[in-house]
Amino acid sequence: MGLKIGLDIDGVVANSFPVFLRELNKHYGKNLAQIDNYKMTELFEVSQEDLSAFFDANVEYLYFAPEPMAGALATIESWFQAGHEIIFITARKLGIQEQVTRKWFKKYGLPDEKIIFAGGASKTFAVREYCLDVFVEDFTTNAFEIAAIGVPVLLLDAPYNQGKLPTGVTRCYNWEDIKCEVAKLACSKGLTAGTFKF
Ligand SMILES: [Mg+2]
């Protein structure tokens, strides 16, 4: 048995925020340089209803256009080769968002059997249910909740997740860092790539 690795999608596997930023700037007539506040309602000064309506109307584009994060696909592939198990847990919802997500996974050759569409629910439920060894996330609220139940979190650095991190959350600056941290964790559990010692 390898590690059980949990992955968020937006801002971790999919480089979604540059697409969101571009489209939201266009739609709301703004010229923001970056998303430095995860609460996009505050950033664009719009209501949740308005923002949700925009996402619903453009779901196909917003969730299909993003490129994978640099290094993500190769690292995920190497984890499968090493015998690790991967579970995707996203705040995306069932229905049309799920369909677009599965299409995106297919396009990039990612296996889509294990995707949990948590919607607005806390991710800790799924993290516990799957007994994950580590979780990769970009949203601090999720990261802190998961770390608080004792599962180490790797936080992929972004303008909206700056600041001090609690115990159990490690900031990673790119997928090379994430790969390295997962390798260290595998080592600490007596697992090395391909050969497992117990
Ligand atoms: Mg995310």
Q: Tell me the per-residue pLDDT of 34-89, one tens digit each, with 9 for 90 and over.
A: 999 999 999 999 999 999 999 999 999 999 999 999 999 999 999 999 999 999 99
- C-alpha 38 – ligand 1 centre gap (Å): 10
- C-alpha 187 – ligand 1 centre gap (Å): 27
For the segment 154-159, the average pLDDT, to the nearest whole number, is 98
pLDDT at residue 3 in the model: 97
- C-alpha 83 – ligand 1 centre gap (Å): 25
pLDDT at residue 196 in the model: 47
For the segment 159-174, the average pLDDT, to the nearest whole number, is 97
Summarised one tens digit per residue, pLDDT across range 81-123 is: 999 999 999 999 999 999 999 999 999 999 989 999 999 899 9
pLDDT at residue 135 in the model: 98
Same domain, 88 and 103: yes
- C-alpha 15 – ligand 1 centre gap (Å): 9
End-to-end CA distance of the chain: 10
Q: pTM for this structure?
A: 0.94
Query: Could you list the residue range(s) of the whole structural domain that residue 166 is in?
Result: 4-15+68-196
pLDDT at residue 193 in the model: 52
DSSP for residue 1: -
Same domain, 73 and 142: yes
| φ/ψ (deg, to 5) at 130 | -95, 5
What SS3 state is found at 126? helix
- C-alpha 91 – ligand 1 centre gap (Å): 8
* pLDDT reading at 143 higher than 90: yes
pLDDT at residue 191 in the model: 77
Same domain, 9 and 20: no
Same domain, 162 and 185: yes
Q: Which residues surround ligand 1, an ion (CB under 5 A)?
A: 8, 10-11, 138
Window from 64-68, 166-170, 185-189 with minimum mean pLDDT: 185-189
Considering 26, 41, 64, which residue would you say is the last residue of a domain? 64
- C-alpha 171 – ligand 1 centre gap (Å): 14
- C-alpha 194 – ligand 1 centre gap (Å): 29
Where does the pLDDT of residue 192 fall: very low under 50, low under 70, confident under 90, or very high at 90 and above?
low
Same domain, 150 and 160: yes
What tokens were used for 188?
Answer: 């600490």
For the segment 30-37, the average pLDDT, to the nearest whole number, is 95
- C-alpha 90 – ligand 1 centre gap (Å): 7
In the chain, % helix, strand, coil (3-state, to 5) comes to 45, 15, 40
Domain count, the chain: 2
- C-alpha 92 – ligand 1 centre gap (Å): 9
Which residue do the tokens 């601090």 mark?
Answer: 140
For the segment 142-158, the average pLDDT, to the nearest whole number, is 98
CATH of residue 186's domain is 3.40.50.1000
- C-alpha 4 – ligand 1 centre gap (Å): 19
- Average model confidence (pLDDT) across the chain: 95
Determine the length of the chain.
Answer: 198
What SS3 state is found at 43? helix
Number of other residues whose CB lies within 10 A of the CB of residue 131: 9
